[in-house]
A and B are shown apart, each in its own frame.
Chain A
Amino acid sequence: MKKQRTYIISSAQISVQEPFCAAGDFGEIPSGGGLYPCKEPDYKPFVSPMASRRMSPILKRSIAVSKRALLDAGIACPDAIVAGTGLGCVSDTESFLLKMTEEGESLLNPSRFISSTPNTIASQIAMELECQGFNSTHVHDGFAFEGALQESIMMLGRGEVSNVLLCAADQTTPLLHSMVDRESIWKGLPCSEGAVCFILSNEVPVEGAASIEDMLVCRDNPLRELERMMRENEISWDDIDCVVTSGFPGRELQDFPFIPEDKTVLTYKQYCGQWLTASAFGMLTCCSSLSAKDSARRRILLCNHSGRTYSFIILYGLCTN
């Protein structure tokens, strides 16, 4: 049974790359360890100066990519907002936690606490847009983006909404970096951060755009689950032009030894570094590749892995000449 596609109408990113720049202009970051912070845009067009002063960087970035992607999509207010974030507003969490730990439990100011819950991202976007529609947040670590994407796709598939604003964001503070740069976690990897927004729709766009054919997240048995999804969508390995993985260059297939050897395999983390919802940046890169006019690629399999969990997203280009 062929399933209904989800169309990606527009996207925007703020990351270690130039803010809002297209994937074609991405440059590689160094491959060693270290913290590579976001390049910030001028936030004046997106957030009032007063709001800007009290907002943490992750909120400003999320609102800016959301407004930029909506503008490109020609949509003022989306039907639903779904966010994915591994650690949410971690600079606010850190600030309240450190103050409590170092100075004790009296005289704490609530403002950092208020904005520290992960759902602050989606609810602040809603407030900025005055969007009273569906609003939810997925926080499943390295698969927070995939959970949010799964919910968006199901909502669109059931026709309950015609478009969804999907925002993925994570922030890496120096303290957080010092904690994840450990042997058992991300030691030696280029750690970064970012915010990515997609406007998704169940209506076929007039101009060419990429689409999502199907996706899955699974724990264990990745090949069995992937091939089951491919069968359901009547897709064989021959139909997949390119595989994009969450590995780094030179270690593309380290976590995906089951990918057939003859497949072209690419990565995206040389452009965005490591962060919990970096797979959203990966999807943006794939979409750009599929919608390029001269693209020879029609279908990309985007793979993510962490611990026991894998995700697979099948992306298809609508307009490739």
Chain B
Amino acid sequence: MGGQIAITGAGIISALGTGLEETRRNLLSGFCPIARPRFLQTSHSEIPCAEVPYSDSQLYLLCQEDKERVLPRSALLGIIAARQAEEDAGLEPGCRIAFINGTTVGGMDITERYLKDYQAGSGYDRLIPLHMDGVMTDSIADSLSCQAAFTDTVSTACSAAANAIAFGAELLLSGKYDVVMAGGTECLTRYHFNGFNSLMILDSAPCRPFDASRKGLNLGEGAGFIVMELPGHAHRRGARIRAMLSGWGNSCDAFHQTASHPEGRGALSAMQKALAKAGLKPSDIDYVNAHGTGTQNNDLSEGKALMELFGKDMPMVGSTKCYTGHATSAAAALEAVISIMCIENGFVPANLRFENRDEGLDFSPQTQTVEGVALKHVLSNSFGFGGNDSSLVFSSVSAL
């Protein structure tokens, strides 16, 4: 049996909303924020994405940071979500925590802005280290009222935040830390916007996960963090437990640097490992928050892996990337917080814009939002370039 980890705090910012309340409200109302970029400086301004609706200057105000302290946009987003999470968990100032962040772009937006100055040596040298992922992680940790005694950064492309959360859970079970905050943050950058565009997997319209006519993904941005403790520790300090992290699994396709294995072999194995860790059978899962990017390749291979795992007993399946876009390394963190929210509030958001089933798949995603449903166990999938496949299982407190 795996570890049962209590989740006592959560924070989120994405195109969908800032904070748990706004995010839940917008999910339930079917709000789709995917639109042309307003803040990202790109010549591909016709390609839609899911931007957090604030400029960098507005984000500085939101997180009350001094603009003299130059911070990448991903750090600003991270500070907002991480502060929400520590406040939500009711952690005392100075509380000793481990802080684990999943990211890939780090401070790439700063590098894009100042690269020519760096090359010319024109007085911006102190900003050079901001490029690095770990510097970004530490800048978030430094903005917390908790004391981050240990910080680390995990980067497995689009599953990074899932692996950060899993590593955080293992740190708790090892007894090294009593409280861990884990998740991920990623802002839109010209670098990866162009990278995904050059791969020709960006849809020119809002994405349609699992639909037969799907044309690709929309990039998004945001940050999500959760506070985790062993249940005994949470009970002793009288913390409210929102949900449990009951399983986590990681496998590698070992197939191709960007394409998923056609039968979803790594995806299947990651889900099986997560279920085994949680001590659950596939039939125990009530809802799958799928990776569901909207690309032909991902949705077909993930769908096949789901068919192999669940057979005829397919639970509700849906992707929330039709709301948040694909926030790459932060995606798993946004979806972890959304999964927790679904369990606590008893709802499953609709997989928007699905019309026709893919001929390779024998199931359809949830097309209507359902409320008033008791979710005991939710499986959240995150798959990255390099075949880095990870799954997390979240469970309701009463299910255990």
Contacts and interface: CB of A to CB of B under 8 A. Distances in A.
A and B interact: yes
A113 B198 contact: yes
Interface in B92-137: 104, 111-112, 115-116, 118-119, 121, 125-126, 128-129, 132-135, 137
B265 interface: yes
Interface string B213-225: 0000000000000
B251 interface: yes
Nearest to B42: A105
A113 B201 CA distance: 13
A217 B150 contact: yes
Interface stretch (B48-56, B252-260, B308-316, B357-365): B252-260
B170 interface: yes
Interface string A104-148: 111011100111111110111011011111111111111110010
Contacts of B141: 219
Contacts of A134: 250-252
B174 A157 contact: yes
A135 B159 CA distance: 11
A108 B257 contact: no
Contacts of B115: 97, 101
B174 A88 contact: no
A53 interface: no
Nearest to A178: B119
Contact of A140 (B152, B266, B384): B152
B125 A183 contact: yes
A48 interface: no
A182 B125 contact: yes
B42 A81 contact: no
B242 interface: no
B152 A136 contact: no
B152 A108 contact: no
Interface in A65-117: 81, 86-88, 96-97, 100-101, 104-106, 108-110, 113-117
A18 to B, nearest CB: 30
B257 A219 contact: no
A180 interface: yes
Contacts of A151: 167, 170
A135 B190 CA distance: 28
Contact of A218 (B149, B156, B255, B256): B149
B233 interface: no
Contacts of B153: 138-141, 144, 147
A157 B173 CA distance: 11
A184 interface: yes
A101 B257 contact: no
A21 interface: no
Interface residues of A, number: 68
A138 B255 contact: no
Contact of A108 (B111, B154, B198): B198
A206 interface: no
Contacts of B173: 154, 158
Interface in B154-179: 154-157, 160, 163, 167, 170-171, 173-174, 176
B116 A101 contact: yes
Contact of A109 (B44, B192, B198, B256): B198
B199 interface: yes
B191 A96 contact: yes
A141 to B, nearest CB: 3
Nearest to B265: A132
B194 interface: yes
A114 B258 contact: yes
B269 interface: yes
Contacts of A182: 121, 125, 128
A97 B191 contact: yes
Contact of B132 (A109, A119, A138, A141): A141
B198 A136 contact: no
A155 B273 CA distance: 14
B77 interface: no
A126 B256 CA distance: 10
What 3 pairs across the A-B complex have the smallest Cβ distances? A123-B386, A141-B134, A113-B195
Interface of A: 81, 86-88, 96-97, 100-101, 104-106, 108-110, 113-120, 122-124, 126-127, 129-144, 147, 150-151, 154-155, 157-158, 175, 178-180, 182-185, 216-221, 225, 307-309
19 contacts: A104-B43, A113-B195, A113-B199, A116-B195, A117-B104, A117-B385, A119-B155, A123-B254, A132-B266, A133-B252, A135-B252, A135-B386, A137-B156, A139-B133, A140-B151, A143-B152, A147-B152, A155-B170, A180-B128
Given A120-B257, A154-B174, 9 more contacts: A86-B134, A87-B132, A106-B43, A117-B385, A126-B387, A132-B252, A141-B132, A144-B134, A158-B170
